[in-house]
């Protein structure tokens, strides 16, 4: 492996911008690393022809810097469209479908000079935190062979961890930027909802639960990519003003107040060792000069879960309902997708209103918590990476999981109300991470805490 493939993205982009390295050198090293690593990992899918990619790199060298990502190879999560590349979404229904244009987030990366090399693997339609699908198969954990990479941004996390790319995009509805980051020893940021715009299609007023965001091997690189991805879209009413982060994340976090929520007062079953490893890691914040306090759950876990599964099924039914409505296509959906759609179609307006009211109650309770604390912290998952041939864990700590996603309930408090949340890796017997969540709009705060965390590990 070329030594520069281990560099941070901000080091690599600076080297290309100053012509210390050429885009061709970086692209060739990227292709070599993918050839060496990906046959075992299965993280990169729909890889473009190598000669075409080298030609694009030569063109980048001839143009001079176009933007902060000039000449940098990036593979896009296979739920997002990149013009001219397939977007399978992990489903046989869309395998080989070529995107006519790039999604907003992808186009912004391209406008910043990135060269899109292919896609990263994802679960079918992004459902479930385990990256496997009938089109490309399963992605293996980068740190623990034979186990799940998490998901749905599992391919992105593994590609980063195995130095196939230096930056990656992802999306997060239910931990998809956080669990795979924790399970593969990298960083993933779920931005404040509205920070990174979605596509301006269909309804643009209701909270769609999911958001795009960045993944990288350090918080500074996360901030650099967020600077590219973020900013309002005039066609969407709920975006946030443009804000730059990369130059502001290195600060002294002494005095920051951290609320440790652990297993949410016992509401979230955890596999043996997970809570202890996370609690031990949380002590690092005190070493950084933060005030850390274990706090009681600020809201009932069952109320959060009720709101979540209602609004999630409502959203999935809206997106996959047109497929479900066609009997010749319905059988191609995986059982978990069918279950979500059928739940969503059966919901009444009163149930959706109740879920929205519960979400509002939790938002107000979280706002009260943030009057006393700058951030709250939870583990990124309730279990260690499980065997790759499982679909999902059926039990955790002898508690039956009653759905395909109940085992990831620990990420829901953040997702339900669209908080900014950075997943950071921890040291433990097996791969795991912490979620650092702040109040709405406080992306800079969680990035600053993450940067201090990274510096404390060096």
The residues, any chain, with a CB within 8 Å of residue 213's CB and separated by 6 or more, are 169, 170, 171, 172, 177, 188, 189, 190, 191, 195, 196, 226, 229
SS3 85: coil
C-alpha 399/C-alpha 407 separation (Å) is 10
Q: How is 232-283 classified by DSSP, letter by letter?
A: --TT-TT-------GGG-----TT-EEEE-TTTTTTS---TTHHHHHHHHHH
Q: Answer whether 69's CB lies under 8 Å from 26's CB.
A: no
Indicate if 152 belongs to the active site. Answer: yes
Indicate if 148 belongs to the active site. Answer: no
Q: Supply angle C-alpha 297, 268, 265, rounded to 5.
A: 30
Q: How is 19-52 classified by DSSP, letter by letter?
A: TSS-HHHHHHHHHHHHHHHHHHH--EESPPPHHH
Residue 220: how many CB atoms within 10 A of its CB? 23
C-alpha 44/C-alpha 346 separation (Å) is 37
b/e code 240-259 from CB counts within 10 Å (16+ = b): beeeebbeebeeebeebebb
Out of 102, 176, 210, 313, which one is annotated catalytic?
A: 176
Out of 102, 129, 148, 152, which one is annotated catalytic?
A: 152
Residue 51: how many CB atoms within 10 A of its CB? 8
Omega of the bond leading into 385 within 30 degrees of 0 (cis): no
Out of 46, 77, 88, 102, which one is annotated catalytic?
A: 77
SS3 434: strand
Indicate if 319 belongs to the active site. Answer: no
Residues involved in catalysis: 77, 152, 176
């Amino acid at each position: 492996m070329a030594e520069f493939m281990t560099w941070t993205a901000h080091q690599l982009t600076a080297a290309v911008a100053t012509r210390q390295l050429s885009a061709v050198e970086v692209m060739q090293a990227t292709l070599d690393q993918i050839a060496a690593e990906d046959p075992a990992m299965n993280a990169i899918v729909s890889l473009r022809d190598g000669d075409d990619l080298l030609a694009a790199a030569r063109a980048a060298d001839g143009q001079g810097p176009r933007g902060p990502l000039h000449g940098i190879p990036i593979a896009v999560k296979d739920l997002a469209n990149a013009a001219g590349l397939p977007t399978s979404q992990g489903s046989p229904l869309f395998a080989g479908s070529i995107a006519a244009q790039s999604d907003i987030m992808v186009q912004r990366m391209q406008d910043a000079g990135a060269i899109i090399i292919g896609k990263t693997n994802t679960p079918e339609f992004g459902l479930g935190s385990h990256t496997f699908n009938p089109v490309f198969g399963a992605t293996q954990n980068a740190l623990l062979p034979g186990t799940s990479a998490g998901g749905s941004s599992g391919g992105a996390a593994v590609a980063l961890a195995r130095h196939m790319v230096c930056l990656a995009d992802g999306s997060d509805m239910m931990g998809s930027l956080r669990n795979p980051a924790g399970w593969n020893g990298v960083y993933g940021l779920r931005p404040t909802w509205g920070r990174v715009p979605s596509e301006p299609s269909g309804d643009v007023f209701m909270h769609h639960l999911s958001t795009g965001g960045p993944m990288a091997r350090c918080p500074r690189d996360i901030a650099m990519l967020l600077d590219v991805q973020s900013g309002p879209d005039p066609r969407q009413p709920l975006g946030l003003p443009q804000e730059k982060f990369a130059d502001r994340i290195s600060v002294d976090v002494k005095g920051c107040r951290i609320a440790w929520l652990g297993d949410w007062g016992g509401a979230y079953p955890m596999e043996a060792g997970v809570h202890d490893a996370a609690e031990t890691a949380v002590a690092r914040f005190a070493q950084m000069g933060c005030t850390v306090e274990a706090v009681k759950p600020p809201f009932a876990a069952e109320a959060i879960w009720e709101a979540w599964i209602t609004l999630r099924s409502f959203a999935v039914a809206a997106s996959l309902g047109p497929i479900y409505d066609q009997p010749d296509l319905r059988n191609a959906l995986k059982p978990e997708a069918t279950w979500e759609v059928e739940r969503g179609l059966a919901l009444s307006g009163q149930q959706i209103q109740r879920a929205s009211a519960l979400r509002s109650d939790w938002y107000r309770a979280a706002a009260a918590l943030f009057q006393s604390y700058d951030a709250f912290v939870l583990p990124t998952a309730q279990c260690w990476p499980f065997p790759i041939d499982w679909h999902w864990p059926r039990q955790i700590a002898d508690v039956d999981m009653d759905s395909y996603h109940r085992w990831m309930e620990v990420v829901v408090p953040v997702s339900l109300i669209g908080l900014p949340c950075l997943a950071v890796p921890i040291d433990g017997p097996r791969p795991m991470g912490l979620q650092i969540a702040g109040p709405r709009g406080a992306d800079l705060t969680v990035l600053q805490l993450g940067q201090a965390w990274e510096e404390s590990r060096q």
